[in-house]
Amino acid sequence: MASLIPETTQKILTHEALRSAAKQSTGCLVVPVRLRRAIKKYLRDPYMKRKVLSLSQSFSVIKDVHLHLASSTSKELVEDPLKSLERSKRWKIKSSYGDIGFKYSDDQTVAYVASRMPAVYSACYRVLSEVRRRLPDFSPAKVLDFGAGTGSAFWALREVWPKSIEKINIVEPSQSMQRAGRSLIQGLKNLPPIHSYSNIQALAKDLKKSERGHNLVIASYVLGEIPSVKDRITIVRQLWDLTQDVLVLVEPGTPHGSKIISQMRSHILWMEKRKCRKSHEKETSKEIVAVKAGAFIVAPCPHDGPCPLENTDKYCHFVQRLQRTSSQRTHKVHH
């Protein structure tokens, strides 16, 4: 923490001040009993530790590839796509999510549930709780979970807004992940209607235009699995078009994850400002009509301006402590 504070202010950070600040942080999150029991019931595999290790190695390989691709991407692609892409080809994604993302086999899905799902749940719960805190009057009725995986975000949504959700659409290309998600929620009561799709195109085709809006759209730990920045931008634009109220993007608290969030944040703000300029240009009345931007940042930034961490060696992230589940303790992998 001290490395993020100017040298001139470090003298005021007494031991008492630091202890007081620490008390304000979010405590250790405990995974709900229902989810822990569902995971334990789902996991019946004597070769689990080997599968967890294999999944971890696969993530390491794909992370290295994505970092190499990201380093070769121009900044203009995110902040002003018109400068770097042909207008006719700008947002035509070359392949659907699922073809370009990480593919999960049955073994990898089981390993994911055992080793990663509780941590993803805890991060989603923390983010959604922050949305609820900052927007106390907001209660989503219709939700879209993009890259739903085994349902981590769904479980978090149920904890944060247990009574308001009336319908959930999920987009998940992995049939193995979909099957696991359905298995984990078996036995839960008062579930809202859940509709599953393999990609956004299938969802848009199935729904009437008037039904495509969602109060909350969430994409957690999925954009980093898509290697092309161009495809990420396309998907986020599609998600933004399906959002009526709140779009939530969650990525790992790493420099790479922070960069993805920063890029998508910059692009959405740029896109909405451009729409505003077009609205002003089309205004024929002599009176000047104030047109507000269509996007506002709820968190983690307290503003809609440029990120002050850009072009520095710092990155935006938060820490969410988690009490490990029995499955995580049993199948922990040491590198």
pLDDT at 85: 40
Label the pairing between strands 322-323 and 29-30: parallel
- Tell me: pLDDT of 65 over 50: no
What does the H/E/C string look like for the chain? CHHHCCHHHHHHCCHHHHHHHHHCCCCCEECCHHHHHHHHHHCCCCCHHHHHHHHHHHHHHHHHHHHHHHHCCCCHHHHCHHHCCCHHHCCCCCCCCCCCCCCCCHHHHHHHHHHCHHHHHHHHHHHHHHHHHHCCCCCCCEEEEECCCCCHHHHHHHHHCCCCCCEEEEECCCHHHHHHHHHHCCCCCCCCCEEEECCHHHHHHHCCHHHCCEEEEEEECCHHHCCCHHHHHHHHHHHHHCEEEEEEEECCCCHHHHHHHHHHHHHHHHHHHHHHHHHHHHCCCCCCCCCCCCCCCCCCCCCCCCCCCCCCCCCCCCCCCEECCHHHHHCCCCC
Strand order in the sheet with 167-171: 194-197, 167-171, 142-146, 214-220, 243-250
CB 174 within 8 A of CB 199: no
Cis before 255 (ω within 30)? no
Q: Express each pLDDT in 123-182 by its tens digit.
A: 999 999 999 999 999 999 999 999 999 999 999 999 999 999 999 999 999 999 999 999
Residue with tokens 């495509």: 212
Residue type, 71: S
Q: Express each pLDDT in 88-139 by its tens digit.
A: 333 334 445 544 455 677 888 888 888 888 889 999 999 999 999 999 999 9
CA atoms of 220 and 242, how far apart (whole Å): 16
pLDDT at 21: 45
* CA proximity to 143, closest of 322, 108, 151: 151
Q: How far is CA 244 from CA 171, 210, 212, 273, 286, in A?
A: 17, 11, 9, 18, 31
User: Which segment, 3-17, 95-109, 281-295, is predicted with the most confidence on average?
Assistant: 95-109
CA atoms of 148 and 170, how far apart (whole Å): 6
* CA proximity to 195, closest of 185, 206, 184, 186: 206
Ranking 189-203, 243-257, 290-304 by mean pLDDT, the lowest is 290-304
Residue 149: which region, alpha, beta or left (left: phi > 0; alpha: psi -120 to 50)?
left
Check: pTM over 0.95? Answer yes or no. Answer: no
CA atoms of 65 and 118, how far apart (whole Å): 26
Chain centroid to Cα 226, Å, comes to 13
Ranking 6-10, 314-318, 326-330 by mean pLDDT, the lowest is 6-10
As given in the structure block, the two tokens for residue 169 are: 């659409």
